[in-house]
Structures are given as C-alpha cells and as structure tokens.
Amino acid sequence: MRSDARSALLPDITEYELVEESSELKEGGRRDHVFTFERKDIKVGEAHYRIKVGVSGDELTMVNRYVKIPEGFDNRYEEMRSANTTISFIGQAVMIILYGFIGVGVSIFFMLRRKILLWRAPMKWAVVIGTLIFFAYLTTISLSWFNYDTSLSANQFIFQQVMMAFVNGLLIAVIFFISAVAGEGLDRQAFPGHIRLWRSWSPTAGASREIMSNTVFGYLWAFFMIGFVTFFYWVSNNIFGWWSPAENMVDPNVLALPLPWLLPAAQSLQAGFWEECLFRAVPLAGAVLIGRNFKRKGLWIAIALIFQAVVFGALHANYAQQPAYARIIEMLIPFILYGLIYINWGLLPVVISHFVYDIVLMAMPLFILSAPGIWVHRVTAVIVALIPLLIVVYRRLRAGEWYTIKAEDLNSGFVVPKEEKKEGTAAEDEKKTDREQEEKSPGPHYRTYPVVLALIIMVLSAAAWIVLTPFEQDVPKLEIDRHKAILIADSFMERRYPGIDSLNAKP
Amino acid sequence: MQITADKHEVMRKADSLTQACALMDTSYRSVAAFDTDERFKNYVELEGEGVEAFQEIVDSEIYHPYTWSVRIFNTNEIEEVTYTFSPEGEFLGFRKLLPDSLEGKNIPGFDIKICFCARTRVLLYYPISQNMSL
C-alpha cells in the first residue's frame, strides 16, 4: 500500500478476526475494499466490537472502530420512544392552544382594550435575550462546518448560518416578548401583593430586603431542584428500575465552541425567563382571574397548580426516558412547588431558580473538561450565573441602606392610565427616562404598535412554517394497501409454486 | 468521563497526521466536534448489561462511545478526511472520502491482507475461508 506513514494508522487488531470482506469497482476504475474485523473474546449483550478497515485503490482510507448492534434494536427503541413523542405532542398542543392562543392571545387582547399593558421592559428583555441567542448561535457556526456540504460556497454557507442565527434570535425574542407581556400583565391583575416584576431590579426596589430574599431563595431553590432531581433519578433507576440515559442533560459539544459559556448562558436565560412567564404566570394568574370571576378561586388555583405541572412535564417527555410518563412524575412535585412559590412571591424567584438550574446543567461540560485556559470559561459561567445576585448586591451597596417596599412597588400600586392625561403630560414626560415613564405613568406613553407588530410577526412566522414545511412524505405515494399486496403476492406464489400455503394463513 | 484533550489539541494532532500521512493537500479547513455514540449507549443501557456496564466500558476503554471528531475539508472538493480521537486525545481512527471517479492503483485483496499481517500480525488470527474472495 502507498505511504508507510499511513500504514502506521492501522490499529492493533491482534485480538480481532476478519468476519466480512467486500470490494466495489468505482466508476473511475478504482477498486475499493472494506475489511471488517470482530473481537470474538468479548461482547456487550449481543453487540460485537468491530474495526472496519477500508482501502481505496492502493490507499488506506478508513479505520473505523464501532460496535455492531443487533438490527432489531432500532425498531424496538423507536417503538418505545413513540410514547414519549405522543405525550410531548399533547403537551405542545396544550401549550399552543391553551397557553398561546387563549392564555396569551386573549389576555393581550383584553389588556390592550383596558390599556394596562406594559411593553417597554419586556421589549428590552426580548432584545437582550434575542441578541444573546443570536450571538450564541453565531458561535455554533464554527461547529456547523462539520455538516457543511462542500458543494456550497463557503460564503453562501456562512450567510445561511448567520441568517438562521438571526431568524432564531428574532423568533425567540418575539415569542418571549409576547409571553412576558401577557404573563406579567396577568400577574399584575391576579396578584396585587406581588412586587411589580419590572421594578425588581430598580435602584429602589432592588435594594430591598424582599428582592434580596427572593433572589437568594431563587438560588437556594435551584440547588434544591438539583438535589431533588438527583435523588429522584437514584430512586427511580435503582428502586423502580426506570431508565434515563446517563448524562442526557449535558451537551459535550459546548466544549467545541469558541465561547463555550455563551450558549448555556443564553439558553438558560431564555428558558428560565420565558418558561416561567408562559408556564407559571399565564396558567396560574389566569386561574386566579377566572376563579375570582366564578367565586371559586381556591378550586381554580388547585386545579391550575396540578395542571401546569403536568403540562410542563408532558412538554419535557420527549427526552429518552422510560416509562414515557417518567418526566411528568419527576416534574410534578417540583413544579407544583414552583407554582406555589410563584403564587406567594411572584416571578422573580422562579425565574432566577430556573435560570440557575439550567445554567448549572448546561455548563457542566466546562467543569468536566480539564484543559489549559478552560478556567476562563468556568469563571465566566459562574459570574453569569451570579448576575442576578450581583445586581441586587450592587443595588443594596449603592443605596447604602435597605429600601422599604412601598405601595407603588406592588402590583396593587399600578395605576390605570386616564385618557385625558394623554396630551396634557406628553411634553413633560419627554424629559423623563423611558423607565420612569413606564413605571410612573404607563398610560400616556402606552403604545400598541410593538405588541401588534410582534403578533403580526408571530402570525407570519407561523404561516411561513405552514407554507414552507414540506409536510408531504419523501417516499412515493403507495398505490396499493397491505391486503392488496398480500393478495398479489399470494397469487404470484400460487402461480409459481402451486399448493403452497397462503401468506394470509400465517399469523 | 474525563475529557482531558481540548479541541485545539485534537485539531493539532489531526494536522500532524494529515501532513505525516499525506492525506490532504497543504491548504484545508478543519473543524472539531465532540460526539457521543448515543445508539451504543442506549443499547448497552437498555438491552446490554445496564448503566454500570456502560460506565465500565468507558473506563476500560474497550470502546470509546465519547469521541472527538475532526473534519478536514475544502470547499468544492469531495475529498475530505475525518479523524476520531478519544476524550484523552488518543488517535482512534479516520476516514478519507475520495471521489468515485478518482483513479487508483488497484491491488488484490489478498495483498492488502498480507500488508495488514505485516503491520498488525492479523494473519495469526485470520481464518482463511473459501467463501472469501482473495
């Protein structure tokens, strides 16, 4: 064979036996050979350790170590996973119809009519989250070269990837914005005793004992969750014999990114904030408002508490776990508790807890890897996880003393704008900062266009998805059904081998 | 699992191998990714010998379900090489893709096996079968 150096790439296969050999004549006249070697002394289950060696013409072109897994496993595995997919699909349907169209859509409609909707703060957060996601996806371009089709020009490929990152960031920002607008708006109406979400990090409320304790509680709860999940998996795997793939929460590919802390940070922030707005605030605050209307608040809250935890678990049921309902059971108690925390203290502690929990798990590979320079990414990930705490510590230090939460800091202190105030205060309000404008007199500066624009983008995106997705199957349309095929086969066999048993006679 | 090699290390190793073995021309792009053989992991955990067995396989290094892969390629060229390395950076295998139309000096399968024998002593274990076309 050509190149002695390359022959050195051949593995030591002294413990292997040749089990398969094939060769193929290529169109250029070159003959390619593939030799498959198998270890006969050890195997795992019915799977065999193998090495495939390829020679193209006179070149060694392949050394591939793999495990030959029994063919039937894939079918059995897919069958097993179909229950996960079904549960997850039901969860998604509930999310889209009940939370999305009814919870978010209807509440925004009514809040728009009553002119009590706050959009500036969620817009800023949406921009932050969308931008982070955009840059995080940009960092993954370095990894996407792995699946790059070389027939495409490099510039075209980069443009495609940048556009995909942009569209991802934009969609996530729009979905977050709408969910946060609705979640916070419902929360403001349902829970007058909660500290107003968008004031949590203000120079005043941010320096209060209440915000500090909510923040610290969020961190503690995240670590309780990590402990609970660890305990749950131990019990379910060791006592009930349930199955969850090892390390299925960790994506080691984070390690191959230029800024490996950015993707976990962006995804944790997006998931923590968005999911708590949509899956806690919308159903629970919605239940309070409906229950209040029907004079059965307690009953509605109790039902909503369990319902939101089940839906949230169902949405996560597509993970490879068995039994398929494992995640619903796993998430039931923690997310009922999340619901109770939200009902008592508002969105801040649950958002922080969810964010910290996610970033701890997603950034785990950074702490598994030991390589020069990795400490920079570890430290950055820790700092990012501590940002909520650092902000309130900063607010407290700046204030010099604990701030006492006042009535206007609470949801009950929100003042519904009056129509006649619109023109009278416009010039004066121009001088105020955006934050002050929205917090102190949201009415005069109220604008419906960002919400309407976001709704239009969402509808257009959904329409684009429906129009552009090739829902039809790639395989040709079947002209005959199963029974017809068996009849044809029977008829052929009868003609060819008269007297042979019919295929239909077989079970 | 201890991942002691980072992507720069495996990319450097892939570069060295590419040059030492003349697998590609001098100018090329390269990208590294960390892979998990999920199918194998699921099989061992579900139908193999369980989660502990999977961990034993990882520890014993009989097989590496976690690997670094490095792809070396050029735009508008079919020819490319993908290397696999263990999480510690040990070379495990490679695959070079060639265009079907590329000519090559053909050598009989038997001669290749002789070559394997020289390099790996495989013939000691090689069951010469009449079914195999030599």
Find the range with the poorest average confidence among A92-106, A138-152, A174-188, A264-278.
A138-152
pLDDT for the residue numbered A400: 95
- Residue B111 tokens, joined: 């001669």
For residue B87, is pLDDT > 70?
yes
- Residue A81 tokens, joined: 């996973």
For residue A273, is pLDDT > 50?
yes
Compute the average pLDDT of residues A3-20.
Answer: 75
Q: Report the complex ipTM.
A: 0.86
The most confident of A1-10, A290-299, A486-495, B97-106, by mean pLDDT: A290-299
Calpha distance A129→A173 (Å, rounded):
6
User: What chain B residue is nearest to A31 in terms of C-alpha separation?
Assistant: B106
Largest Cα separation within chain B, whole Å, is 48
pLDDT for the residue numbered B123: 37
Q: Which of residues 109-168 of A touch B (CB under 8 A)?
A: 142-143, 145-146, 148, 150-154
Task: Please report, as a single letter, which amino acid is at residue B94.
Answer: F
Is B109 part of the contact surface with chain A (CB cutoff 8 Å)? yes
Query: Does residue A442 or residue B69 have the better pLDDT?
Result: B69
Mutate to test the interface with A, among B42, B95, B124 (most CBs of A within 10 A): B42
Contact A32, A58 (CB under 8 A): no
Contact A31, A24 (CB under 8 A): yes
Pick from A101, A186, A175, A181: which is nearest to A446 by CA? A181
Find the range with the poorest average confidence among A177-181, A353-357, A467-471, B23-27.
A467-471
Task: Please report, as a single letter, which amino acid is at residue A227.
Answer: G
Other Cβ atoms within 10 Å of A174 Cβ, number: 20
Calpha distance A334→A126 (Å, rounded):
27
* Least Cα separation, residue A369 to chain B (angstroms): 5
pLDDT for the residue numbered A504: 47
pLDDT for the residue numbered A16: 87
Question: Which residues of chain B lie closer than 8 angstroms to A245, CB-CB?
Answer: 38, 41-42, 45
Calpha distance A182→A199 (Å, rounded):
17
- Give the pLDDT confidence of A200-214 residue by residue, as tens digits: 999 999 999 999 999
Q: B68 falls in which pLDDT band (50, 70, 90)?
A: very high
Task: Please report, as a single letter, which amino acid is at residue A333.
Answer: I
Find the range with the poorest average confidence among A77-86, A243-252, B75-84.
A243-252
Sign of the dihedral defined by the CA atoms of residues A80, A83, A88, A93, in that order = positive
Compute the average pLDDT of residues A463-492.
Answer: 62
Residues 6 or more apart in contact with residue A96 via CB below 8 angstroms: none
Is A22 part of the contact surface with chain B (CB cutoff 8 Å)? no
User: What chain B residue is nearest to A43 in terms of C-alpha separation?
Assistant: B48
Element (H, E) at B5: none
- Residue A200 tokens, joined: 């949590």
- Give the pLDDT confidence of A92-109 residue by residue, as tens digits: 999 999 999 999 999 999
Calpha distance A319→A75 (Å, rounded):
18
pLDDT for the residue numbered A69: 95
pLDDT for the residue numbered A5: 63
Instruction: Please judge whether B127 and A374 are an interchain contact, meaning their C-beta atoms are less than 8 angstroms apart.
Output: no
Mutate to test the interface with B, among A69, A84, A159 (most CBs of B within 10 A): A69
- Give the pLDDT confidence of A20-59 residue by residue, as tens digits: 999 899 988 888 999 999 998 899 999 999 999 988 888 8
Element (H, E) at B124: none
- pLDDT averaged over chain A? 85
| Dihedral-angle region of residue A460 (phi above 0 means left; psi in -120 to 50 means alpha; beta otherwise) | alpha
Q: A506 falls in which pLDDT band (50, 70, 90)?
A: very low
In chain A, % of residues over pLDDT 90? 60
B91: β partners: B85
